[in-house]
Structure formats: structure tokens, C-alpha cells
A = this chain, B = another copy of it.
Amino acid sequence: MSDATNSENAELTEMCQYVLRNHGKRIRPAMCILSYYVCGGKDAKKAIDVGASIELIHNATLIHDDINDQGDLRRGAKALYKEYTIGKSIVAGDYLFALGFRLLGASTDSIIDYIVDAASGLAAGEFSQKKYERNVVVDESEYMKIIGGKTARLIECAGKCGSYLAHSDAEDIDKIGQFAYNAGLAFQIIDDVLDVAGDESSTGKRVGNDIVEGKPTLPIIYAMEDPVVGSRVKEIFTNPNSTYDDAAECISLIKKTDSIARCREKARAIADEAKASLGFAPDSVYKRSLIGLIDFFVSRDR
């Protein structure tokens, strides 16, 4: 990935390196490469390239997301547009997006279809998220669609690409896809839990961001259903001028309900469903790693 970002423009290269240096958990490349091995692949070179390509595209969308959401911090460091400018960051995001497609090289139609489907899902997920911003009408099933587009589809794509590259048949590619999609849902539910119940020094993100931004998340949706604190949570969630102080109040209200426990339970149930999709694959160190990955998703605190 790092080699791919060298450009003729020193500042552009520097911005790409800034983004890659503060890297995240790189779960999409992990999903791609492990899925490849689980499905019997032997030489992961191509799966590594495709995984890196997906990670570059993911980073490109994060740069643009931070601009849209006016997020200050990303992975414990200043968001790119805060360190440079919005204009340059839009362009740097486009550049990383193009590099992602370059790394794909001459891939087959299927790989490109998987990735473009996921990229268009990202756009659709962003659109429904905006539709339900500060909107109490949002419910669990709408939430699942939003995080499906926003998070799970690119992780699903990573799994399907790995499986496809290992020459799996269509049925097994679907099963790995179901595993990875559900893993993505579980990951995002816990991500949203950490916005309420996380520790800033572990997560690298300010707690309460989603509440201040009016983003519909599962902990908020469940808390809005609570007969005692629900109406005050709704007030804060729908207030376009809510502050981090309001968010702190909202978090203490959410913590009085069973919302966090229900979210964790939901994530665990989805993770169990995901693991069941892996029944087709023989036991191996790679399969155990995939299961370890999803266990980490639902138990993590960062």
C-alpha cells in the first residue's frame, strides 16, 4: 500500500502516508486473505493485492466521511482535512480511490463487480444514514440496512474476493459472503456501543460523537424505546444544537437502561449466525483465525 502511494507531488504523497501511518485494524485485508486460505488457496499473492486494494478504497472513503461528518479525530490522530484542508483532502481521497483500483490490476469481472457493488453500497448507506439523522422514526431494521451499506458490504466483498480467488464454487463464495457480512454488522454494532460506553484512550475517538452528530445508532435506538428515559434521549438525539455536555447526559441515561446489554447480545447472536455459515469449511488454522476475528469484533474495547 505504501509503495502504491508514491506520486509526483510531494504533498500528495505525504498526505497518503499520513493516512496509512495511522492505520486501523486492517480487518478488510485480513478477511480477504483468511477467506482465501479457508477456501483452500495456496499462494496468497493475489489475495494480498486485492485486500490492499480494498483497504485503500476504505481509507479513501474514511477521508471523505470525516469531511462529511466534521469528525476531528481519526484513529487517535487529527483527521486529514484538519491537518491539511478540505479541498486537498477531497482530492487525496479521490487519489487513494484511484490507487485502490490500480492495485486491482487486471482482475476479473467478478472481483471488480464485488468491489464496485460494495462501493455503491457505501454511497447508499451514507445516504440512508443522512436520511435518519436526528430522526426518531429510525428502527432496528433501518439501522441494519444503514450499517449493512456503510460497513458490512465492503467486508463481505473482502471475503468474497478471497474465496473467489481460491476458485471456490458459487455456493461457498455466498457462504463466506454471509459470514463476512454478518461479521461486519457485529463489528459496527460494537463500534456504535463504544461511542457510548468506550474509553477514549483505547478507541482514539471522542465518546459521544454519534450523539452530537445525530447519527442513528443501535444503543440510541434501544434507549429511545425505554419508558423512563426514552423521551429525554429523543430530545437530545433530535436537537441539532446538542453539545458534548448533552451527549454526556444522554450517555448516562443510556447506561441506566438495558440498551448496551441488548446491543452486545444482538452482536453476539449475529456472530453466532456468522460462524454457522462456515460449516462448509474444514477445520484449519485459518478457519480458527476467522472465528477468532469475529470473537474479537464482539468482545473488543477499542
Closest chain B CB from A5 CB (angstroms) = 10
Which residues of A in the span 43-70 have a Cβ within 8 Å of any Cβ on B?
60-61, 64, 67-69
* Segment of A126-134, A176-184, A268-276 engaged in the interface with chain B: A126-134
How many residues of A sit at the interface, in one of the four size bands? 35 or more
**Stretch from A19-27, A109-117, A197-205 forming part of the interface with B:** A109-117
Given A87-B68, A90-B64, A105-B112, CB of A98 within 8 Å of CB of B124: no
Copies of the chain in the assembly: 2
Contact assessment for B102 and A112 in the assembled complex, using a CB-CB cutoff below 8 Å: yes
Secondary structure call for the A interface: helix
Contact A94 B119 (CB under 8 A): yes
Listed residue (A7, A101, A107) with the most chain B CB atoms within 10 angstroms of its CB: A101
Note all chain B residues with C-beta closer than 8 A to A90. 64, 67-68, 90
Q: What B residues does A122 contact at CB under 8 A?
A: 91, 94
Tell me whether A127 and B91 are in contact (CB under 8 A).
Answer: yes
- Residues of B within 8 Å of A115, CB to CB, are 98
Residues on the B chain within 8 Å of A120, using CB: 7-8, 95, 98-99
CB contacts (< 8 Å) of A170 on chain B: these are none
Contacting pair B109 A108 (CB below 8 A): no
A90 vs B120: C-alpha distance when bound (angstroms): 13
Question: Would you call A9 an interface residue if the criterion is a C-beta within 8 Å of the partner chain's C-beta atoms?
Answer: yes
Q: Which chain B residue shows the least CB distance to A109?
A: B106
* Top 7 closest pairs, chain A to chain B, by CB: A98-B119, A102-B116, A68-B87, A95-B123, A9-B124, A106-B109, A91-B126
Cα(A98)–Cα(B126), bound, Å: 15
Q: Is A11 an interface residue when CB atoms closer than 8 A count as contact?
A: yes
- Indicate if the CB atoms of B12 and A124 lie closer than 8 Å: yes
Please list 30 pairs of residues, one from A and one from B, whose beta carbons are closer than 8 Å in the complex, sorted by A's number. Answer: A7-B120, A7-B123, A8-B120, A11-B127, A12-B123, A12-B124, A12-B127, A61-B94, A67-B86, A67-B90, A87-B126, A87-B130, A88-B126, A88-B130, A91-B123, A91-B126, A91-B127, A94-B94, A94-B123, A95-B119, A97-B98, A98-B115, A98-B119, A99-B120, A101-B116, A102-B116, A104-B112, A106-B106, A106-B107, A106-B108
